[in-house]
Amino acid sequence: MDPVRPFRIVTGVTRELLRSTGKRGIALAGEGPETRLFVEWMSQAGLPCILASAEEVLKARAFLSRVCLEEGGTPEAGTLTQAKHPERGTVSEPRWIEESEEDRRWATTLATLAVAARGDLVPTLCANKTMLVMIPAPIEPFLPLGDLYASEIHRMAGECSVPAFLQEQVEEGVREVDRSLRNYLEYGMAFGEAFHQIPSPLKDDIRRSLQRSRQRWQPRPLIPKLSAATLGADLDL
């Protein structure tokens, strides 16, 4: 897939976002093909982009662990200690083996928000469309790759992120899923018709994910309407 078109459109929207909000640039965290692709595009476009460091993400994870008072503590606490005090031993890569996707997302979001607040930047998440329609709505207000399916990212970057239950799909499988998603979401096909090529139990997993995410994507901001003109509903500043 020729990246020129998405590059032009995504960086054009990003440029106008920074101009209209007066923000200095983009803040993001985490790693993954989408983040790497977007950071590269930002560099090519000459737009400021700050990526939270791995240590900042670890700090966010440790903070969440303390604040959220997880039962049984954090399986990764030992690893975090090692990373924080390299003189005590080898600094290891953070391991997320027993951590849910949602925990990981919160940590990257928190790190992103911290970097954004510090630098007057726009908090940003580089999730693709296949991910976004199957996960709870992110906190970050800017999702620059949110209209590109995982298979489109794969065609540009050679890899892509997908929800955990899709990770066993080979490239062709993700393309099939995306084709079905497009038929369902964009062309108005009923679920059964759109996904008839996808076997169960994968089809059932997809259906459940879509249903869960639908419940958790609410319009933002959500303000109960009491006056004649309400932010988020019918009042535009």
Residues 6-45 close enough to bind other proteins by CB under 8 A: 8-9, 12-13, 15-16, 20
Task: With contacts defined by CB under 8 A, name the span among 114-122, 200-208, 213-221, 229-237 that binds other proteins.
Answer: 229-237
* Pick 4 or 69: Cβ nearer other proteins: 4
Check binding of 68 to other proteins (CB under 8 A).
no
* Pick 76 or 152: Cβ nearer other proteins: 152
d(CA 15, CA 22) in angstroms, rounded, equals 10
In the list 77, 158, 229, 232, the residue contacting other proteins (rule: CB under 8 A) is 229
- Please tell me the count of residues contacting other proteins according to CB under 8 A: 15
Task: With contacts defined by CB under 8 A, name the span among 3-11, 23-31, 52-60, 87-95 that binds other proteins.
Answer: 3-11
Check binding of 85 to other proteins (CB under 8 A).
no
Cβ(53)–Cβ(31) below 8 Å = no
- Closest separation between CB of residue 189 and other proteins, Å? 17
Check binding of 101 to other proteins (CB under 8 A).
no
Check binding of 234 to other proteins (CB under 8 A).
yes
Q: Phi and psi at residue 49, in whole multiples of 5°?
A: -150, 120
Angle at alpha carbon of residue 208, lines to 206 and 214, rounded to 5°: 100
Check binding of 226 to other proteins (CB under 8 A).
no
Q: Give which of 192, 213, 205 is closest to 146, Cα–Cα.
A: 213
- Closest separation between CB of residue 13 and other proteins, Å? 5
Cα→Cα distances 158→34, 150, 175, Å? 11, 11, 13
Check binding of 170 to other proteins (CB under 8 A).
no
Cα→Cα distances 112→5, 51, 232, Å? 27, 8, 24
- Closest separation between CB of residue 18 and other proteins, Å? 11
Check binding of 4 to other proteins (CB under 8 A).
yes
Cβ(14)–Cβ(47) below 8 Å = yes
d(CA 92, CA 82) in angstroms, rounded, equals 7
Check binding of 235 to other proteins (CB under 8 A).
yes
Residues paired with 50 in a beta bridge = 27
| Paired tokens of 224 | 């109960």
Q: Give which of 115, 117, 139, 119 is closest to 127, Cα–Cα.
A: 139
- Closest separation between CB of residue 176 and other proteins, Å? 18
A 10 A CB-CB count for 19 gives 9
| Paired tokens of 225 | 């309407």
The residues that touch other proteins, with contacts defined as CB under 8 A, are: 2, 4-5, 8-9, 12-13, 15-16, 20, 229, 234-237
